[in-house]
């Protein structure tokens, strides 16, 4: 993409944000990869190193061996990477500070939007959050740090309240998305006037339905992704570039337009 074409698109997207009243940002793995977190499906990602069958909810709940293996992986850091937010995360957080963000809907499970400064109540995590652990019996939720401390003495930690099975609070294969989060995401998608996709190929469902809901309700669509997506033809603007570099430029223009 030529610089002049990029500048034109950046200006166009910035103007769309300034004009909009209800901006929803939707993020996928392409945002996390810029913080050094491999895409699950890419070389070096989770599925190139581990058997996806070991990450089904059915196997986790029924097999003590599977739970022991996963907790060992957690203790070794195989499933957790202590990453920092990148330019894209900080740019999205800046949109909130500028009053130009209704919410973030994310497919990512790394907690980096919150770490960058987005309000917890404005981030809807469709696939959960690996920084939290949930009891499958009493629904008690606690930070991963509390469990990591116990893993030095316990191979398979259980809930201190009810002794139920503990599980990382990310959505496993065969597990339904968190219903309230999904409902909220659908609501905001259908009630925004600008929907911005950042770093998603829009092929994982039901998350990928969100931009469709937005467009069907009359919202304008912007897609920022390295490769094409099935929704490109519906977008007002498509930018095939790295998320961080583009979002920094867009937010700079937004800030400039709001202050002029």
Please give the distance of CA 86 from its chain centroid, rounded to a whole number. Answer: 13
Q: How far apart are CA 81 and CA 97, in angstroms?
A: 27
Q: Which of 127, 160, 163, 187 is catalytic?
A: 127
Q: Dihedral of CA 20/21/27/33: which sign?
A: positive
Q: Tell how many helices (H) and how many strands (E) occur in the chain.
A: 11, 9
Cβ-contact 150, 74 below 8 angstroms: no
127 catalytically annotated: yes
Running DSSP on this structure, what letter comes out for residue 45?
A: S
Cβ neighbours of residue 207 under 8 Å, at least 6 residues apart?
A: 28, 105, 107, 126, 127, 177, 200
Comparing C-alpha atoms, which of 168, 216, 177 is closest to residue 66?
Answer: 168
Comparing C-alpha atoms, which of 215, 181, 180, 184 is closest to residue 197?
Answer: 215
Running DSSP on this structure, what letter comes out for residue 56?
A: B
243 by DSSP, 3-state: which? Answer: helix
- The two three-digit tokens of residue 259, written as one number: 């202050």
Given the DSSP bridges, would you call strands 128-135 and 141-143 parallel, antiparallel or unpaired?
antiparallel
Q: How far apart are CA 32 and CA 71, in angstroms?
A: 23
Query: Could you give the residue numbers annotated as active site?
Result: 127
């Amino acid at each position: 993409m030529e610089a002049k074409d990029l500048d034109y698109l950046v200006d166009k997207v910035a103007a769309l944000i300034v004009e909009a009243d209800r901006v929803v940002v939707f993020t996928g793995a392409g945002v996390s990869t810029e913080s050094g977190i491999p895409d699950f499906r890419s070389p070096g990602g989770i599925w190139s190193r581990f058997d996806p069958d070991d990450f089904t909810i059915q196997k986790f709940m029924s097999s003590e061996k599977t739970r022991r293996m996963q907790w060992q992986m957690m203790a070794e850091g195989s499933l957790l990477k202590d990453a920092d937010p990148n330019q894209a995360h900080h740019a999205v957080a800046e949109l909130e500070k500028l009053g130009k963000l209704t919410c973030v809907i994310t497919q990512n499970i790394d907690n980096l939007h919150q770490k960058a400064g987005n309000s917890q109540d404005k981030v809807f995590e469709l696939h959960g959050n690996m920084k939290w652990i949930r009891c499958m019996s009493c629904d008690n939720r606690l930070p991963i740090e509390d469990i990591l401390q116990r893993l030095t003495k316990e191979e398979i930690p259980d809930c201190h309240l009810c002794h139920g099975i503990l599980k990382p609070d990310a959505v496993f294969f065969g597990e339904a998305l968190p219903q309230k989060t999904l409902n909220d995401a659908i609501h905001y998608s259908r009630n925004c006037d600008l929907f911005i996709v950042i770093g998603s190929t829009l092929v994982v469902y039901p998350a990928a339905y969100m931009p469709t809901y937005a467009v069907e309700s009359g919202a304008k669509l912007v897609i920022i992704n390295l490769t094409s997506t099935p929704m490109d033809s519906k977008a007002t603007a498509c930018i095939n570039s790295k998320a961080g570099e583009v979002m920094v430029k867009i937010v700079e223009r937004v800030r400039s337009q709001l202050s002029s």
